[in-house]
Amino acid sequence: MVDINVQYRPNLKDKYCGKFVSCGEYPGHINLLNDLTIINKNQSVILKHNGELVGAVIRDTASKEVFHHFGIKMKLTIDAHYPIKRGKEHVGLGTIVGQGDRKNPLDSKIGKYAYKEKVVNHEAQRIIEDDGDTLAEWLYNNAKYHLPWAIVSYEQFREKCNLDKESMVGAIFCAKNYEAVGHRDNDWSEWAVGFCYDDPTSIEEGYFIYSEYGIAIEMTSNSL
């Protein structure tokens, strides 16, 4: 792991909010290549601003067997759920689904994310729900080991809500060929932890763009 110091770039955060962006020439996208520092596929880094941690990426985080095990569960989760239709601030392309408890935004109902009832029977639903829990637990444990600072706000939230330590908080999201316009999330906790899976073992092209700090992380399979 290498520390990389980044600069706060509020001009980029505001400039590209609500727009599709890329690190190349693509129809309908704004090319950010000249604005960003690229974290390439061979780099595992911790991003810092004025000594404060603001992000990280870890490559090759799981063994081959574990990698494929949870990749299959992610595919199963995507196939079994209805795609999420997000609002104007999160316009996206591709598919994203949620599993678990929904929070209570103004335009949504409280409850669980829904399954496609025609293709999921009760036994399959039980298996899928267990899979979602094990995937969430695995992400949590990986982050707690590799990125312990990312778990602090999550634990504080769980303590405030008097939840036991066996309970996962909120929902897990899985996406397929997905991209969204630049946006700001308003989440329960300070950090989000994600895992990138692709089969075969390399993604053809894609970036996680963190315009607030002028960073684009080149996506690779088996990255946290």
pTM: 0.84
Side chain identity, residue 111: G
Under a CB-based contact definition with an 8 Å cutoff, are residues 202 and 220 in contact?
yes
pLDDT band at residue 57 using 50, 70 and 90 as cut-offs: very high
pLDDT band at residue 59 using 50, 70 and 90 as cut-offs: very high
What long-range pairs does 13-16 form, CB within 8 A, spacing at least 24? 13/182, 13/211, 13/212, 15/211, 16/182, 16/211
pLDDT at 195: 92
pLDDT at 58: 93
91 and 170 fall within a common domain: yes
Residue 222 lies in a domain: yes
Asked whether residue 86 carries a pLDDT value surpassing 90, the answer given is no
Under a CB-based contact definition with an 8 Å cutoff, are residues 211 and 33 in contact?
no
Structural domains in the chain (count): 2
70 and 179 fall within a common domain: yes
Residue 175 structural domain: 63-184
- pLDDT, tens only, 144-173: 888 888 888 778 877 887 777 766 777 888
The tokens describing 209, both together, are 């763009």
The tokens describing 53, both together, are 């941690």
Geometric angle at alpha carbon 224, from 221 and 75, rounded to 5°:
55
52 and 70 fall within a common domain: no
Residue 214 lies in a domain: yes
Q: Tell me the average pLDDT across 90-109.
A: 74
Residue 146 lies in a domain: yes
